[in-house]
Amino acid sequence: MKKTTILGLLILIFFSSCKKNSTLDFATSDAAKPAVPVTVSNLYAMTNGVPTVQTSLSGGGVISITLQIPAGSGRTIKQITKVALASNTTSYTVVQNSTAAYNATPINGSGTSVTFTTSLAEFTAKTGIAVTTSGTATSFLSRYFYFLITLDNGEQVIAVPVRVYVNA
């Protein structure tokens, strides 16, 4: 009995002393809650917990997403390093995949904010997905935008996905 207890304690000490590698992996809970949170400052609505911006099909279809970090964080946004698309709200690793880039050209930040701009026409050209609304109906784009953000200290943060609401 004593040997089993001692062996169990040694195993417990061994496993609790293992150092966890810190990587940009959203399978871990600390990666999903970054020290510097990113918010969408031109938020139209929260749709099922997802930040949503809006555009208008008849108004030209410009999509603008402004990402921001708290001024009191002590950090600034260096750039949006990559923009990617996914069909669901749990595909955070899509911005780490080199082949899945919607936009792989860095977009420079300005202080605590950075704005990504695209259009419905560019979305259709890059995805092959036509964007339509019927009459006065509205719709959402069928893909979510994911952003890999690099801060001034080199830390990388994956922002929550952003959805686009399309007005007629």
Q: Is the dihedral of CA 125, 130, 133, 135 positive or negative?
A: positive
| Cross-strand partners of 108 | 79
Q: Give me the tens of pLDDT residue by residue for the chain, a chain 168 residues long.
A: 677 776 665 565 655 555 544 445 544 444 456 789 999 999 999 988 899 999 998 888 999 999 999 999 999 999 999 999 988 888 778 877 767 789 889 999 989 999 999 999 999 999 998 887 666 567 888 899 999 999 999 999 999 999 999 987
Rounded CA-CA distance 153/161 in Å is: 23
- Going along the chain from its start, the domains and CATH numbers come out as 23-167 (2.60.40)
* pTM for this prediction: 0.78
DSSP 36: S
Contact indicator for 106, 81 with CB cutoff of 8 Å: yes
Element (H, E) at 63: strand 62-68
